[in-house]
Amino acid sequence: MKNIFKIIFLFAVLIGVTKLSAQDEKIENSTLWKIEGNGLTEASYLLGTIHVMCESDFVMKDKVVNALKETSNLVLEIDFSDPEEIQALQKTLMGDQPLSEIYSEDQIEKLDQLLKKTMNAGIESFDQFSIMAVYSMILQKSISCPSVKMWEFELIALANTHEKEIKGLEKIERQAEFFNNAFPPDEMLEQLLIMDEYSDVFDLMVSTYNSEKITELGTVISDPRFMNKNAEYWMLEYRNKNWLEKMPEMMKEESNLFAVGSAHLIGEFGLIPNLRALGYNVTPVFN
């Protein structure tokens, strides 16, 4: 079961970073932000994550633990403490039609060669999976960690320890839809064929994240080969706009620790500048 989560989160890690924009230049280096003002009676917090890290690199700082203790709810992109979301997640791993019916003979041959090289099995063993699942399984192979830590799991465990309610900003079916819109089959295959370039990107992203250089995270994948304008729209702009409609009402009712991929915090459509534009005081938490 844990491998299922790892597959989806590994996928999210490397497509959840976009280009640095001019608006990011004034954003301080911190992964944790406090949200106050604009009529709120209690402060909420916003935490940027990168979803999956090697266990040896994973550190949950005291300021994150304290922020969760001070709030009523933990709010993730997806509430993976919900059994219905787990079932929905499992369904996203299977394709609506076989890969051999989606791709041309030439594309299938390339995919077959890649699978044999990385997974020691040909296309026949993966034909019923979604291309997103295949992408993520190959990505998992390219990141060499004896064991991994997932921010979502660690936060859920901490929330359960302190008897906090856990919520989600969106449903897994919608997130899968956004992935598919962002990366149609042909583009996903192209990403698979340049997978060798992902390992160094992952290492750089982790080191940058642990230094809390949040504005530099946006420069890690600035090459349009990794994320074009369409992908940027569906993975960041569209989703952030949806969240920005939900977050004010959630913060008005109760205090929350929102934990989402770090790429969602910065940029033109980032949560930090847009929450500020709505009238909130959003300030970095350094200690």
CA distance 153 to 169: 16
pLDDT in tens, 32-86: 999 999 999 999 999 999 888 889 999 999 999 999 999 999 999 999 999 999 8
Asked if residue 119 belongs to a domain, the reply is no
pLDDT in tens, 116-126: 999 999 999 99
pTM summary value: 0.89
pLDDT in tens, 150-188: 899 999 999 999 999 999 999 999 988 888 898 899 988
For the ranges 122-131, 210-219, 261-270, the lowest mean pLDDT is seen at: 210-219
Reported as a pLDDT band with limits 50, 70 and 90, residue 220 is: low
Asked if residue 209 belongs to a domain, the reply is yes
Contact 55, 267 (CB under 8 A): no
Share of the chain above pLDDT 90, in %: 56
Residue 127 pLDDT exceeds 90:
yes
Asked if residue 116 belongs to a domain, the reply is no
Range of the domain at 175: 18-84+145-284
Choose among 47, 63, 74: nearest CA to 156: 74
Our count of domains for the chain comes to 1
Angle between helices 2-15 and 151-161 (to 10 degrees): 120
Asked if residue 95 belongs to a domain, the reply is no
Asked if residue 94 belongs to a domain, the reply is no
Asked if residue 26 belongs to a domain, the reply is yes
